[in-house]
């Protein structure tokens, strides 16, 4: 064996040993409140574990990822320079999706930014996932069965915190494509010894019948699909609020942070939202989850699981660290994977982090206002920047508007113009929606009112933004 191959193996063995020492593999909860003892750790104890993991992961990445090795060498940083969270932030500039995309293009089909090579894939490969971002070339991530065990436990902590218990059963209504969200729920339900009723490959009425007959308690789908299915049930003469559904695990679209949407959906189903936030690049599980304090409605936030990942925010322009309490783009250092450990990956969701203690007893960082849209989705209209969710909030603020809406951007001569289409029985509602948009986004928009249910209902992730400005 060559010296380089030796170093690659040695650092991998050490990294996996450090990870295994933190694995609390269980099929029943540690206590009524916490799935794992780690949920009750102090901030100092969590920080010590983060620091120890950084010392093991830096040489592992250097020896096992060509992307990271090039970056270390280019920056003049040695793996031994990264000894703690503090030194990581001081020495290691954020890694962007653009860098990963360039690497994927130069080294198809996998790129070199992960640490699951062909040898690991053949020996213990589990699943291939693909980034679901709305821009750029798809980046793929191969994960191993070693990672799956950590993934299941992190997710179990999140679902337990959200209220999922023995007696619950889930119905996932998703395409089961190469996206982490639904697979994460699927495997975690199995790890928690909880049953699943497969709801794939069926239309709305068939799924409504499954719920009516077999009484699952947990809906797993996108928020827009939960709206759609609730309306299908109503059309069938079934009341979703009176159904067996008590929890909604949603993914794929911003949800909790969108004022009006969560209240409307929880009301439709008389069920509680369980937030489950993640990204493909820094899995197992990106670490965002809800707790009883959030569900009480006292504060709008999600927790971030600090012992498996380090979360920070940076300024959107300079990429410099923003202090706690100040808005910025989310950055994640993933400290729980042999396949895709990442140092300071720019996830790019706008949020404001807080270290304030939580009434639920967990000391994990809070993302206040939740995650309200990725920077990729930012709309720039005549120099004014806003997110589709801000338009969504404006639509929700007007009583009587339907579940769906659309944002159309086009050129009128040299001028960029926006038209928002909403459903309402009263055409005069246009004025109220336009006023709400103006006050939230500081931008003028035409508003078109169509009849209730005139817009297509989304079966999966809703397409709501139609940008036609680049067309001739
Ligand atoms: Zn909490």
Q: What is the CATH number of the domain that holds 432?
A: 3.30.300.30
Task: Tell me the residue range of the domain where 389 lies.
Answer: 379-467
pLDDT at 286: 64
- Asked whether residue 341 is assigned to any structural domain, the reply reads no
CA of 293 to the centre of ligand 1 (A): 5
CA of 299 to the centre of ligand 1 (A): 10
Span 386-407, average pLDDT: 89
**Residues near ion ligand 1 (Cβ under 5 Å):** 291, 293, 358, 360, 362
Please count the CA atoms within 13 angstroms of the CA of 117 that sit on its side-chain side: 12
CA of 292 to the centre of ligand 1 (A): 6
- Asked whether residue 75 is assigned to any structural domain, the reply reads no
CA of 354 to the centre of ligand 1 (A): 12
pTM of the model: 0.87
Q: What gap in Å lies between CA 243 and CA 62, rounded to an integer?
A: 53
CA of 267 to the centre of ligand 1 (A): 23
Please count the CA atoms within 13 angstroms of the CA of 410 that sit on its side-chain side: 8
- Asked whether residue 419 is assigned to any structural domain, the reply reads yes
| 363 token code pair | 């000391």
pLDDT at 470: 74
- Asked whether residue 162 is assigned to any structural domain, the reply reads no
- Asked whether residue 163 is assigned to any structural domain, the reply reads no
Q: Which of 115-129, 243-257, 358-372, 387-401 has the highest mean pLDDT?
A: 115-129
Span 312-340, average pLDDT: 94
CA of 37 to the centre of ligand 1 (A): 15
Whose CA is closest to 300, among 342, 256, 270, 352?
256
Give yes or no for residue 3 having a pLDDT over 90: no
- Asked whether residue 410 is assigned to any structural domain, the reply reads yes
Whose CA is closest to 65, among 329, 342, 308?
342
CA of 366 to the centre of ligand 1 (A): 8
pLDDT at 472: 42
Number of H helices, E strands in the chain: 14, 18
The more confidently predicted of residues 261 and 213 is 213
| 377 token code pair | 């989705």
| pLDDT per residue as tens digits for the range 186-232 | 999 999 999 999 998 899 999 999 999 999 999 999 888 999 999 99
CA of 343 to the centre of ligand 1 (A): 26
Enumerate residues 6+ apart whose C-beta is below 8 A from 380.
none
pLDDT at 132: 59
What's the structural domain count of the chain? 1
Find where tokens 């209209």 sit: 381
- Asked whether residue 190 is assigned to any structural domain, the reply reads no
For residue 360, what is the DSSP state?
T
- Asked whether residue 452 is assigned to any structural domain, the reply reads yes
pLDDT at 135: 57
């Amino acid at each position: 064996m060559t010296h380089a191959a030796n170093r690659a193996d040695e650092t991998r063995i050490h990294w996996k040993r450090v990870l295994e020492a933190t694995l609390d593999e269980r099929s029943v909860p540690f206590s009524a409140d916490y799935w794992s003892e780690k949920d009750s750790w102090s901030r100092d104890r969590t920080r010590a574990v983060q620091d120890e993991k950084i010392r093991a992961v830096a040489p592992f990445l250097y020896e096992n990822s060509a992307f990271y090795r090039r970056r270390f060498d280019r920056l003049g940083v040695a793996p031994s320079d990264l000894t703690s969270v503090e030194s990581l932030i001081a020495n290691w500039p954020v890694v962007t999706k653009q860098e990963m995309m360039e690497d994927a293009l130069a080294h198809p089909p996998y790129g070199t930014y992960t640490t699951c090579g062909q040898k690991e894939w053949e020996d213990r490969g589990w699943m291939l996932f693909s980034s679901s971002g709305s821009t750029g070339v798809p980046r793929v991530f191969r994960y191993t069965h070693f990672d799956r065990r950590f993934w299941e436990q992190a997710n179990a902590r999140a679902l337990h915190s959200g209220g999922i218990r023995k007696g619950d059963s889930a119905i996932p209504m998703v395409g089961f494509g190469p996206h982490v969200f639904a697979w994460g729920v699927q495997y975690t339900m199995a790890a928690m010894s909880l049953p699943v009723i497969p709801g794939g490959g069926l239309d709305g009425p068939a799924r409504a019948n499954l719920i009516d007959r077999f009484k699952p308690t947990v809906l797993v789908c996108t928020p827009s699909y939960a709206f759609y299915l609730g309306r299908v049930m109503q059309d069938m003469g079934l009341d979703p609020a009176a159904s067996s559904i008590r929890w909604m695990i949603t993914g794929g679209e911003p949800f909790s942070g969108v004022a009006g949407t969560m209240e409307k959906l929880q009301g439709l189903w008389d069920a509680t939202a369980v937030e489950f936030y993640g990204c493909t690049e820094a899995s197992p599980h990106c670490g965002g989850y809800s707790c009883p304090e959030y569900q009480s409605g006292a504060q709008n936030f999600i927790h971030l699981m600090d012992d498996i990942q380090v979360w920070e925010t940076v300024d959107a322009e300079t990429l410099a660290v923003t202090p706690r309490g100040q808005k910025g783009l989310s950055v994640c250092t993933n400290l729980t994977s042999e396949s895709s450990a990442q140092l300071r990956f720019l996830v790019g969701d706008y949020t404001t982090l807080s270290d304030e203690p939580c009434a639920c007893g967990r000391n994990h960082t809070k993302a206040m206002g939740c995650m309200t849209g990725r920077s990729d989705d930012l709309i720039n209209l005549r120099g004014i920047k806003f997110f589709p969710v801000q338009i969504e909030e404006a639509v929700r603020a007007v009583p009587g508007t339907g579940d769906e809406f659309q944002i159309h951007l086009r050129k009128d001569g040299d001028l960029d113009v926006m038209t928002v289409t909403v459903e309402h029985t009263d055409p005069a509602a246009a004025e109220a929606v336009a006023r709400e948009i103006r006050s939230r986004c500081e931008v003028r928009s035409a508003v078109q009112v169509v009849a209730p249910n005139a817009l297509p209902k989304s079966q999966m992730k809703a397409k709501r933004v139609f940008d036609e400005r680049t067309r001739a």
